[in-house]
């Protein structure tokens, strides 16, 4: 189980859109629609932002959206706000109750 590949960093001006990719394999991202995304502020617990590729938990703004094509999932933050600055991680189900985590992306609002 190798980690899912994410870009180390992504940035955008407030109001712009930022998209983060999460690349796995045909054994995880490509095989299951159980990709979730997490926002992680240092010192706090990670927060679930998307599940099943593109579904938002209650309370998560609709500025956060997700998609998947083949072995790559993506998270898009539209209308970037200062409070969106954080580390973002993807996690994919890999079968038999196992999971693979992404390498993490630091999002900065310029």
Q: What whole-number distance in Å separates Cα of residue 58 and Cα of residue 90?
A: 19
Give 11 or 55: the residue with its C-beta nearer to another protein: 55
Of residues 38 and 64, the one with the C-beta less far from another protein: 38
Residue pointed to by tokens 């960093």: 9
Least distance (Å) between residue 106 CB and another protein: 11
Beta strands in the chain (DSSP E): 9-12, 18-23, 35-40, 47-50, 64-69, 72-77, 86-93, 99-101, 105-109
Q: How far is the CB of 92 from another protein (least distance, A)?
A: 9
Residues of this chain that bind another protein (CB under 8 A) = 1, 3, 32, 34, 36, 38, 40, 44-48, 51-52, 55, 57, 89, 91, 93, 96-104
């Amino acid at each position: 189980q190798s980690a899912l590949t994410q870009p180390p960093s992504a940035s955008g001006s407030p109001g712009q859109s930022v998209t983060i990719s999460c690349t796995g394999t045909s054994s995880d991202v490509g095989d299951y629609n159980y990709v979730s995304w997490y926002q992680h502020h240092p010192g706090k617990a990670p927060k679930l932002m998307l599940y099943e590729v593109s579904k938002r938990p209650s309370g998560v703004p609709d500025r956060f959206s997700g998609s998947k094509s083949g072995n790559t999932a993506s998270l898009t933050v539209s209308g970037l706000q200062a409070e969106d600055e954080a580390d973002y991680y993807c996690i994919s189900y890999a079968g038999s109750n196992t999971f693979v985590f992404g390498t993490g992306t630091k999002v900065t609002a310029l």
